[in-house]
Amino acid sequence: MKIRENVVKSRLKAGKVVTVIEGYHSAEIVDFLGPLGFDGVWVENEHGHLSLYEIQNITRSCDLWGMTSLIRVNKADYGLIYRTLDQGAQGVIVPHVNTAVEATEVVRAARYAPEGERGMYQSRQANGIDPVDYFEVANDETLVVVMIEDIVAVENLPELLEVEGVDVFFVAHGDLSASMGLTGQVEHPDVKNMVKRAITQITDAGRTAGGLSTTENVRYMVDLGASFLMTGWPSWVTEGGSRYLRAVEEAT
């Protein structure tokens, strides 16, 4: 038996664009979203309050539908990162990574030796697999995403991009706008130019860039060079619900 393939990581290695869906997640919601065909699920636990037990069940639902389970933790904490991976997650997303030192700490926590110092415990993904075989390939099937969401991180990109073991540098325009003194103004030309600058710098260095994508801007993001595309589903419900209520109003 082999460890489950990390679909997102495999597609990125093949030079393909990957799609990751984000929202308010539970195992049931992941089961509902599974048939849509996204490559991965961005599970929100920076601003959320999921228990380790809930993470186990969510990752099982991701496994069921062949989607990569990615958990966003709330900080670059060594124990938090590897405990999250130990629940069966196939990757972690770490916010506000602003320096090479912080990025190195993320890698140290997320990867087993010799690439890092993750505790030598077998994740749920190791069930049914010989321990030696698991530890030999686990790093290859673990995705590490660091978030570039502060202006200081953009300024430090040359050093950040030299850190080995990071798979995706995700440029987040929301917090980036706040750090630029333009809170909430994600469409401001200065914010858009900063996002463009960051993604271009990442891809020019031969690294993988990610960003928030919508139906309206997906072509723009791909043209910039972003290959890790995250989109949220709650806006679809809001749009569909509003359209339905308008239809009811017009009919009555």
Count of C-beta atoms within a 10 Å radius of residue 244: 10
Identity of the amino acid at 72: R
Q: Under 8 Å CB-to-CB from 102, ≥6 apart: which residues?
A: 76, 146
Phi–psi pair at 165, nearest 5 degrees: 100, -10
Helix (H) or strand (E) segment spanning residue 21: strand 18-23
Phi–psi pair at 202, nearest 5 degrees: -65, -50
Residue 47 bears catalytic tag: yes
CATH architecture of 7-251: Alpha-Beta Barrel (3.20)
Query: pLDDT at position 208, please?
Result: 98
pTM for this predicted structure: 0.96
Q: Which of 25, 47, 96, 188 is catalytic?
A: 47
Query: pLDDT at position 80, please?
Result: 95
Query: pLDDT at position 216, please?
Result: 92
Phi–psi pair at 81, nearest 5 degrees: -65, -50
Query: pLDDT at position 141, please?
Result: 97
Question: Between vectors from CA 216 to CA 212 and to CA 219, what angle results, nearest 5°?
Answer: 75
CA 46 to chain centre: 12
Query: Residue-wise over 7-26: b if at least 16 C-beta within 10 A, else e?
Result: bbbbbbeeeeebbbbbbebe
Helices (H), the chain: 7-13, 27-33, 52-64, 78-86, 100-110, 131-137, 151-155, 157-160, 173-179, 189-204, 218-224, 234-251
Scanning the structure block, which residue is given the tokens 């979203």?
33
User: Domain spans of the chain?
Assistant: 7-251
Helix (H) or strand (E) segment spanning residue 212: strand 209-212
Report mean pLDDT in 10-residue bins for the chain, 252 residues. Answer: 94 98 92 96 92 94 97 95 96 98 98 96 91 93 98 98 98 95 94 96 98 94 97 95 97 96
149 close to 179: Cβ distance less than 8 angstroms: yes
Query: pLDDT at position 180, please?
Result: 94
Identity of the amino acid at 130: D
Identify the CA nearest to 35 among candidates 70, 66, 56. 66
Query: pLDDT at position 49, please?
Result: 84
